[in-house]
Every structure is written in C-alpha cells, then in structure tokens.
Structure 1
Amino acid sequence: MTTQTRRFSVSDGLTLVGDVGGDPAAPPVILLHGGGQTRHSWGLAMEVLVNAGYHVLNLDARGHGESDWSADGDYSIATLAADLSAVIETLAAPPALIGASMGGATSLFYTGHADQSRVRALVLVDIVPKINAVGAKRIRAFMRAYPEGFASLEEAANAVSDFYPERPRPRDSNGLMKNLRRREDGRFHWHWDPRFVESPERAEPPQFAHKLQQAARGVRQPVLLVQGMSSDIVSTEGVADLQQQIPHLEVYEVANAGHMVAGDKNDAFNEGIIRFLQCCHPPLAAAKIGQD
C-alpha cells in the first residue's frame, strides 16, 4: 500500500498531519485515533480499507503524534470537532468516520451538530457517552504518570506492559518510537501534549456525557458501535444508554478485545467495519481485502 503524508490547516492556525491512501475518487473514510495514540494505531485497518476500495485519511489529532500542539492547551471536544470539520472541507464527497475512544467522541459530537449531508456513516470504536468511570480514571492515571519520561525504550515498554498486561509484549521495543519523542535531556517522553489530559471536560465525565448524549440525538446516519467485550470503558449500561439516543444503532461485539479493539483483535475488527461500510458507504470497486 502506498500512502502520502499530508498536512491540513485548521481554524486556529495549527497544522494536523495525516497519511492519505487509496484512489482520491473513491468514497472517503477518515480514521481518528484515541487519546494518547497516534495515527499509527490504524496501520492495518488503513491498509484493509484502501484495498477494499476506499480513499482513506488517517489523522494525528492536535496535541498528538506529528500534529501541532495547541498554543493555549485547548483540547475540548468542540475544538477537536472543528478540526475534523476543516479536514472534511477538503474532501469532494462526504466521508464515513471511524473513531476510537477520543476520536469516536469527536466524530459523534461533530456528526450530531453538523448538517446530515456532511457525513455518510459513523463507526464508534469502544466509546459511548456514559463511559465506565473506573476505566477512564485508570487511563488518565497512566497518561499523567512518568512526567519525567523514561531513560530507555525498555523502561517505556515496561510501563506499557504494566498498564496492559493482557496484550503480548513485542519482542522489539523500537516500535514504541512512534509514540515517544527524545528530548534534549536524552530522555524519552510520550508524544502527546500533557495539557491534553488536564482538559476540564475530561475531569467532569457527567458534563462530557451530557454533551455527547445531546449530539447523539441529532445523528440520523447509519451508526455502528464496535464494542470490545473485555473493555473497562464501555459497559452494558453504556451501550443501552446510547441505544436510547440512537435507536437505529448497530452493535458489533468483539470477543476477547479490550478498549483498544483494533489492536487486540485486528482481523475481527476489520471484518466488522468493512461489512458495515459496504452496506451504507459502498466502495468504488470490489477489491480483495488484504492484497496490494
């Protein structure tokens, strides 16, 4: 698969970085990663979507990866949605949005407030308005930890393994460099802006949930929720609440997957999203999934 790196200017002058692949004339799909992740978390999913006949934009959110950090630390859901709007403006056709966690919340908020013609379909990856408070607190605690960074890649790998022991540890820690930056002091720090974790919205889950519930009630497009059945973020109660806001919601359950569904069970994840998109956002041409 051949991709190009592209830069997108957003309303407050920041630049977002993304990978773009597939025929520009094909139906577009935008991938939005979760908080603390980068666009590289979608590597395999992007390849599958391109091979299935889609034009794919895979973005680093502001404050993450190679995208600019906000000068005033603004990482509110409304600002993230405004960034998404600026990217959609560059497209010739309305896209399907696939968002994990933070990216899903951004997509839901945007879709619920935008004109219905701006988005063709929505895939929420393990995110609902009413998230599990215990799981969310655990993630925030990890992101706040290690403010002094790490002395080595091995030390960073140990931190990830302690946080997510269910996932097999890679033999080579060099892959972590996609998520780390080596600063002048020689230590490795996570790629994200630490101010992102301190966003007031993230400190007040009920207020955040209310904003997403309001947005969800305005969504008329086809919507798929991909739920990791071992997730500590999305509960049965959270799914039921979202179904009240979006009665036409489809739910795709992925067994033995946690909150990071695409990374835990990539084949099952890809199968589910391709099946959904082929019905409501058909590809330009039939292509064999998984082949170049």
Structure 2
Amino acid sequence: MTIRYVREFKGFAGIRLESDDIGTADDPSIILLHGFGQTRKVWEDVAVGLEQAGRHVINVDLRGHGGSDWSSDSRYGFDAYVEDLRAVLGQMRTRPVVVAAMHSGWIATAALAEDAATLASGLILVDPPAEKGGQTVRAAAETVSASLLQGLAKPDYDTKLLDLFHVDGTGERLSVAAPHINIPVLLIRGALGSVEPDTASPAFVAAFPDVEAIDVDGGGLLVNAERTEAFNGLLIDFLERKQPRFIPEYRSGSDARTLRDAMGCFATGITIITAHAADGKPIGLTANSFTSVSLDPPLLLVCIANNAGSAETLRSAESFAVNVLQIGQQPVSNLFAGKGEDRFAGTRWEVGEYGAPILPSSLGIFECTRNALHEAGDHFLLVGKVEKASFEPRRDPLLYFRGKYRRLHFT
C-alpha cells in the first residue's frame, strides 16, 4: 500500500510550497521539480514507479503553480525559485537526489552551486533548455500547456511568472556553478522533444565533474510523461548505481574502536583549552569534550586525556580559558591538536582578565577559575567556574563530526 500525504514546505519569504510526500521516509529520498507551465501532476506516474522501487518521493509544486502559493507580490524572479529549492532541501531529513525538468534544471544547478554535497546526493536534469538559442520560458510553458490540454493534466499556473522569470546572465551563472557541483549528475533528453536539436544540450552540462548524458528515442515533448516506463528505467538504473538502497547495518561492540566511532556520531563544537604553566609559559590543547554544567553557579566542564602534553599543567591550574572556535580557525585547531610545536608563536593571543591566555578571534571565550577535578578512567574532568563569558554573534561555529570538520548549513 502506497503511503501518501500532502506535505507543505516554507519557501523563500515565507511562501507556502505544496508537495506530495509518497513512500517511506526511511528510504532514499527523491525531489521532483516540474517545468514552467506544469504542475506536480505531470510527475504522477514517475513518482509511483519510484515509490514502488523503494524510494521516498517529494513531488513539489513550484511557487505560482498548482497547490503552492501564487506570489501576492509577484516574486517570480530566478533567485526566488533558487531560494525556494534551498529552503526545501534545508527542511529534508536526508540529502535527496533532485530531479528537475526544463528550466527547473537551471534552478537546481544554481541552488546547488555552493554546497551541493551538503544539500543533495545527486542531480538529474530532464530536458534542460540551452542557455542561448533555445525556447524562451514563455514559449516552453505555452508549448507544454498545449500538450497538457491534450490529456496529460490541466495547466494551472500564474501567467505573470512568465514575464518575471528573467534569465539574463543565467548562462554565465550556470557555467560558473557547474564545476563546483561535485555530486553525480545525469542529463536525460527526449530526442524528439527538442525544438532546436542543435542547441538542445546546455553548454554548462559539460562542466559538471561527474556527469552522464542519455537521449531517449521517441521521447516526445515531455519525456517523463510520454515515455514514463523508459524514463523510470533510466532513473532507477542511475539511482541504484549512484545511491543504492541499503538496509541500515549497525555496528556494535565494546572495543575502543567501536566506542570511538559511535561517539563520533555526536556532532560537537571544537574548543581550545588554555592556561599558564608554573613558569608563566602559555599552554593549550584542542578538545571537543566540553559542556555546560550549571547556570547557578555558572559551571562548565572539559574532559582532558591523562596522556595529553598539557594535562599536568591543567590539573594544577588555578585559572584556565575555553576558547570556542569559529569556522576560520580550523588551522588553529590543527595546530593545538598536534605535538612538538610552539603553538602560540604564530597565534594571536592575549592574557584574559582572569589570568589565562585567550584567543581573541574565537567565536566564544569562557574565562574560568578552578572549581573541581574528577578522575574518570584515562581522562580527568576539569570543572571551572565561569568568571567571564564573551562571544561574537556574527561568526559561525567550527564543527566536528565523524572525524571531520564541518560547518552549519542555515535554511
């Protein structure tokens, strides 16, 4: 039995985007984007076929189309659609494959330009028009609408968008974007669907690092609707090769490696703990085992390995600082995680108000006095009373997950 319900997303400037959510959310996800002059109904048979092949399908109406809001302030520019898609991707629980027809292929390419690998796991372009020489948005939409009136579905869109979706400069923008989209890409063309076959293959497609291209003989105007079986076969073949379905395989055990990898599933920020040695020399080390303990009194805790080079100094330090790192401090994190280097020689630092060295370029700084120390296996827990906290609200945190540095994605 197919699981289906209507799902809403919040798009750019708060616009409501309506979609069909089909299948089980634990299966690999696919987002379907129709072309202008269509609605999500044009994907109906494709969506069912994908769901039957074990995929979770999100079939979206673009703004100004079908069940999605029609913009009251006529926001139908190219960037509005790009930001809509980025908003939808940001609300997904997993990284989906994006399937985009016609001019939606342009939108998807621009949306994935900066951080494709964090937003999506694949991109499939269906009959994207050439940046130059191809049909205009209005011509394409009106041609499709005529086809839809012959039996595929009833056209349902705000005609104002055809004049407001400006594409000037799009070709250059897509050519710049494509080389940075480092996820698998598939181009599917309906061989008979192109009004101008010589210009049907967009120039930017060749710039994708990992791209395949397939022509569907007899594809007609809407290859996904008129050759659904062949189209689905191509989609599923690509998906099984590039994003195969899998049964979750949980590793278990009590050994140190398994425990370390399991702990790595918990994403954290990164800190540098600093203090002064007895001879006045500044010391510091990188740590991600850090947490708030109490607000009244203000206490925090850091976890230090017994074999760390700075461990003995931190055991006896009467004051120390916790410097929470921002995304520009990855080199500093690496420096303070290494051994045998003068970590402070090339690092900007100063003495804080309570005597500990601080790194003033950090996202946040907690200056502490020693409150308690607890032994805990091969580590010890250093509890500090926060005497002063400072932070820079315009910076973003440096994150750590599964042994790699990460950064936030904001929707």
* TM, length-normalised to structure 1: 0.76
For 2:38 and 2:202, locate their aligned partners in 1 and report how far apart those are by CA, in whole Å.
27
Question: 2:111 is matched with which residue?
Answer: 110
Judging changes above 3 Å, is the alpha-carbon distance between structure 1 residues 215 and 87 closer, same or farther for their aligned structure 2 residues?
same
For 1:229 and 1:259, locate their aligned partners in 2 and report how far apart those are by CA, in whole Å.
9
Q: Is the 8 A contact 2:33 2:61 kept in 1?
A: yes
Question: 1:79 is matched with which residue?
Answer: 80
For structure 2, list consecutive stretches of 5 or more residues without a partner in the other structure. Answer: 248-411
Q: Does structure 1 residue 265 correspond to structure 2 residue 227?
A: yes
Deviations 1:133-166 (A, max 9, x none): 35756335658xxxxxxxxxxxxxxxx6xx44xx
Q: Is the 8 A contact 2:137 2:162 kept in 1?
A: no
Q: Superposition pairs for residues 1-292 of structure 1, below 5 Å?
A: 1-130=2-131, 132-134=133-135, 138-139=139-140, 163-164=146-147, 169-170=150-151, 176=153, 179=154, 190-199=155-164, 201-202=166-167, 204=168, 207-232=169-194, 235-239=197-201, 241-284=203-246
Judging changes above 3 Å, is the alpha-carbon distance between structure 1 residues 136 and 118 closer, same or farther for their aligned structure 2 residues?
closer
For 1:134 and 1:191, locate their aligned partners in 2 and report how far apart those are by CA, in whole Å.
20
Question: 1:155 is matched with which residue?
Answer: none
User: What amino acid maps onto 1:193 in structure 2?
Assistant: D
For 2:196 and 2:123, locate their aligned partners in 1 and report how far apart those are by CA, in whole Å.
17
Query: Highest Rg: 1 or 2?
Result: 2
For residue 34 of structure 1, give the secondary structure of its aligned residue in structure 2: coil
Deviations 1:225-275 (A, max 9, x none): 001101225744553723431253201110011341111211111100110
For 2:78 and 2:159, locate their aligned partners in 1 and report how far apart those are by CA, in whole Å.
16
* TM, length-normalised to structure 2: 0.55
Deviations 1:13-69 (A, max 9, x none): 210110001111111110000001101100011011111111110000000001001
For 2:241 and 2:177, locate their aligned partners in 1 and report how far apart those are by CA, in whole Å.
24
Q: Which has the higher strand share?
A: 2
For 2:80 and 2:224, locate their aligned partners in 1 and report how far apart those are by CA, in whole Å.
25
For residue 66 of structure 1, give the secondary structure of its aligned residue in structure 2: coil
Judging changes above 3 Å, is the alpha-carbon distance between structure 1 residues 209 and 129 closer, same or farther for their aligned structure 2 residues?
farther
How much does 1:11 deviate? 3.4
Which shows bigger deviation, 209-218 or 52-61? 209-218
For 1:133 and 1:279, locate their aligned partners in 2 and report how far apart those are by CA, in whole Å.
31
Question: 1:184 is matched with which residue?
Answer: none
How much does 1:77 deviate? 2.4
For 2:52 and 2:212, locate their aligned partners in 1 and report how far apart those are by CA, in whole Å.
24
User: What amino acid maps onto 2:123 in structure 1?
Assistant: L
For 1:201 and 1:135, locate their aligned partners in 2 and report how far apart those are by CA, in whole Å.
10
User: What amino acid maps onto 1:219 in structure 2?
Assistant: I
For structure 1, list consecutive stretches of 5 or more residues without a partner in the other structure. Answer: 144-159, 180-189, 286-292
For 2:88 and 2:204, locate their aligned partners in 1 and report how far apart those are by CA, in whole Å.
26
Q: Is the 8 A contact 1:73 1:195 kept in 2?
A: yes
Identity %: 27
Instruction: Work out the number of aligned pairs and report it.
Output: 246
User: What amino acid maps onto 1:223 in structure 2?
Assistant: V
Say which structure, 1 or 2, has more relative contact order (CA 8 Å, 6+ apart): 1
User: What amino acid maps onto 2:69 in structure 1?
Assistant: D
- Poorly superposed stretches of 4+, deviation over 6 Å: none
Judging changes above 3 Å, is the alpha-carbon distance between structure 1 residues 237 and 249 closer, same or farther for their aligned structure 2 residues?
farther
For 1:232 and 1:132, locate their aligned partners in 2 and report how far apart those are by CA, in whole Å.
12
